């Protein structure tokens, strides 16, 4: 565990520029629930351009949040990065973040993807549409998440457990749109459509669908993108059997979540931290996200990569994602009552 939390000194082009600049520019400390390979290339670029050294700690979101809370004002962390809005909201509620007043962030990040009080900002968008097996499902028969309780999909749906934050957030978004009561009714019917008791992660739902276990899988698109571009032929073959259907296009739009970041309350390198956040939403960082992570840029003036473009443009649910966090505890109880394992 200790090793897990050790700060990784990022290699610096800086060494070539000389130590004086490094000392002048200073550093910034990051706690990241985002995997190292999905953020470090950007941090290296930031260091190259600014001379600011980034010290990175990666870990599970809940563990990092707990750590921030127990360290309190002595925390070395300046920035917290997580891969869903619910946990950023939790960090805000726990009192370990502070508002950022940045014209760049406010004008670049659409309002639904940032905290109204400036405590957190989305850095990339992650979509959770309906995936279906090509040739087995006529996409003309699909329409919305709500319509997946239709008898024709009985025993044909693969989705992971209710313990997963992505499903909890999907549920919270449905509660915001349809109300808690209707969503609970829906969840009770939805659970009866499952092809098998929930198990595994999003990739496992895609694999199960490809293996004939179900016709429909719910998964975040970056998993499908990751499998399609995998070195592993089995993953590529599985993913190639599925297609993306964007649900709720007639209504509120497809469910999305964000990866995002917050400035910690204890931040000692506040200026550098804000510089880093602003850097992460600049055009070239956003283009990198879209290309390397299979996620959607948070800014609309940056195009997603070719693979994502091939899935077509879609309407996103514009619910303020802070709602996902606010409704999370109720969403969890609701799924429990619905018998969603
Ligand atoms: Fe994920």
The CA 151 to ligand 1 mean position distance, Å, reads: 30
The CA 58 to ligand 1 mean position distance, Å, reads: 15
pLDDT at site 82? 94
Do strands 79-82 and 27-32 pair parallel, antiparallel, or not at all (unpaired)?
parallel
Query: Long-range contacts made by residues 202-209, C-beta under 8 angstroms, separation at least 24?
Result: 202/160, 202/166, 203/227, 203/235, 204/160, 205/131, 205/158, 205/159, 205/160, 206/131, 206/238, 206/239, 206/242, 207/235, 207/238, 208/158, 209/131, 209/132, 209/133, 209/158, 209/241, 209/242
**pLDDT tens for each residue of 266-312:** 999 999 999 999 999 999 999 998 888 889 999 989 999 889 999 99
Mean pLDDT of 300-328: 94
The CA 97 to ligand 1 mean position distance, Å, reads: 23
CA–CA dist 289, 204 (Å, integer): 24
The CA 24 to ligand 1 mean position distance, Å, reads: 37
Alpha helices in 193-269 (DSSP H): 202-210, 221-228, 233-240
**Residue 130 — very low, low, confident or very high, per pLDDT cuts 50/70/90?**
very high
The CA 17 to ligand 1 mean position distance, Å, reads: 37
Domains observed in the chain: 5-126+258-310 (3.40.190.10), 127-254+321-337 (3.40.190.10)
The CA 51 to ligand 1 mean position distance, Å, reads: 31
Q: Is it the case that residue 183 has pLDDT exceeding 90?
A: yes
CA–CA dist 278, 50 (Å, integer): 12
Q: Which single residue is written with the structure tokens 């499952």?
A: 194
The CA 167 to ligand 1 mean position distance, Å, reads: 11
The CA 49 to ligand 1 mean position distance, Å, reads: 29
Q: Which single residue is written with the structure tokens 């930031």?
A: 46
CA–CA dist 57, 73 (Å, integer): 18
Question: CB-hemisphere CA count at 13 Å for 329?
Answer: 4
What letter does residue 200 receive in the DSSP assignment?
Answer: S
Helices 202-210 and 233-240 meet at what angle, rounded to 10? Answer: 70
Across the strands, what pairs with 271?
none
The CA 202 to ligand 1 mean position distance, Å, reads: 8
The CA 164 to ligand 1 mean position distance, Å, reads: 10
pLDDT at site 4? 45
Q: Is it the case that residue 156 has pLDDT exceeding 70?
A: yes
The CA 36 to ligand 1 mean position distance, Å, reads: 13
User: Which CA distances in Å does 235 have to 157, 211, 240, 295?
Assistant: 20, 11, 9, 19
CA–CA dist 301, 334 (Å, integer): 38
The CA 74 to ligand 1 mean position distance, Å, reads: 30
Q: List phi, psi (to 5°) of 80.
A: -115, 125
């Amino acid at each position: 565990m200790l090793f897990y939390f050790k700060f990784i000194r990022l290699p610096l082009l800086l060494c070539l520029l000389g130590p004086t600049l490094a000392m002048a520019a200073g550093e910034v400390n990051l706690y990241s629930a985002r995997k190292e390979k999905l953020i470090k290339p950007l941090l290296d670029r930031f260091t190259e351009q600014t001379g600011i050294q980034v010290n990175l700690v990666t870990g599970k979101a809940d563990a990092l949040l707990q750590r921030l809370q127990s360290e309190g004002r002595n925390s070395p962390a300046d920035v917290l990065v997580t891969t869903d809005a619910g946990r950023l909201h939790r960090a805000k509620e726990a009192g370990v973040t502070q508002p950022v007043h940045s014209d760049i962030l406010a004008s670049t990040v659409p309002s639904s993807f940032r905290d109204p009080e400036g405590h957190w900002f989305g850095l990339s968008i992650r979509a959770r549409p309906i995936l279906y097996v090509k040739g087995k499902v006529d996409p003309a028969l699909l329409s919305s998440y709500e319509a997946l309780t239709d008898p024709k999909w009985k025993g044909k749906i693969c989705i992971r457990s209710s313990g997963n934050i992505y499903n909890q957030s999907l549920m919270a978004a449905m509660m915001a749109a349809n109300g808690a009561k209707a969503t609970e009714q829906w969840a009770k019917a939805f659970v009866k459509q499952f092809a098998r008791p929930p198990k595994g992660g999003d990739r496992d739902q895609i694999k199960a669908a490809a293996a004939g276990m179900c016709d429909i899988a719910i998964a975040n698109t970056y998993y499908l993108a990751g499998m399609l571009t995998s070195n592993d032929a089995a993953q590529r073959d599985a993913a190639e059997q599925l297609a993306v259907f964007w649900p709720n296009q007639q209504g509120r739009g497809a469910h999305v979540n964000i990866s995002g970041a917050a400035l910690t309350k204890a931040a000692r390198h506040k200026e550098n931290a804000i510089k880093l956040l602003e850097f992460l939403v600049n055009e070239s960082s956003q283009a990198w996200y879209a290309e390397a992570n299979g996620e959607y840029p948070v800014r609309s003036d940056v195009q997603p990569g070719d693979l994502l473009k091939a899935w077509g443009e879609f309407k996103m649910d514009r619910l303020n994602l802070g709602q996902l966090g606010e409704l999370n505890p109720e969403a969890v109880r609701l799924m429990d009552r619905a018998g969603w394992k």
